[in-house]
Amino acid sequence: LGEHGIEAAGVPVTGSTRINITLVEPDSTLTKINAAGPELSATEAEDVLEAVRTRAAAADWIACCGSLPRGLPPQWYAELVARSHRAGTRIALDTSGPALTAALREGPDVIKPNAQELAEAVGRPLATVGDALKAAEELRARGARSVLASLGADGQLLVEASGAYFATARVETVRSNVGAGDASLAGFLTAGGQGPGALASAVAHGAAAVQLAGSLMPTPADLDRSAVVVSADVPLDRPLTEPAP
């Protein structure tokens, strides 16, 4: 991170850092081996919250990504959202399950579920883009200020106060989708975090990421914004390539 000019602030814990391994085969088949992370004590959990609080005022966005470590209650992200808002900082939440649903009551500025996580949050299967739109609208009604839903190869859906937008991108060859969601969220936030322009940036970054090997992150030179199409005319009846059970 330091080589890229990014300041890192660590919080010491007694356990070992979680290690995840992703195997990418020549045909782009992925096998993920995710080890269990450390179990945080109540003191360590509070230390993390305090570390975020002390830096929140200088940030435009705080991005919370991934599942919660063992030892943290599902409401932990909700507390982080509340503290961030008290500091006047917007927060993006990329998680799932009880941690996601518990945080909705604090009004995260954007949540970024994939189709599976979206289906889990509303408790019903999603077979079409229209199903995904209804689910995203339901999560907004439950507190999320905007929903950036990744629908895999079918595109991305943004649902916010100004309306709903759908975007796709032309992809020549899929090499690896490792980190594509993270790249997409980064593209969305760096473009302002709202509106069709930010959605276009999200899709451009995600499309660039899947065309790179391994877990490489796209640079500005890798982006092809001309390959992205954004529309306010959401294709409600379009079937999802991979329906979410």
226-243 confidence digits (pLDDT tens): 999 999 999 999 999 999
pTM over 0.75: yes
Give the total number of structural domains in the chain.
2
At 231, is the secondary structure helix, strand, or coil? strand
Per-residue pLDDT band for 27 (boundaries 50, 70, 90) equals confident
Please identify every residue annotated as catalytic. 182
Provide the CATH number for the domain around residue 219: 3.40.1190.20
Give one word for 228, left, alpha or beta, with left for phi > 0 and alpha for psi -120 to 50: beta
DSSP state, 33? Answer: E
- And the tokens for 26? 């020549």
113 with 215, same domain?
Answer: yes
47-105 confidence digits (pLDDT tens): 999 999 888 888 999 999 999 999 899 999 999 999 999 989 999 999 999 999 999 99
59 with 117, same domain?
Answer: no
138 with 47, same domain?
Answer: no
The domain boundary residue, chosen from 89, 122, 147: 89
Average per-residue pLDDT for the chain: 94
- And the tokens for 193? 């975090």
230 with 177, same domain?
Answer: yes
Per-residue pLDDT band for 144 (boundaries 50, 70, 90) equals very high
H or E element that contains 37: none
pLDDT of residue 185: 98
Does the pLDDT of residue 121 top 80, yes or no?
yes
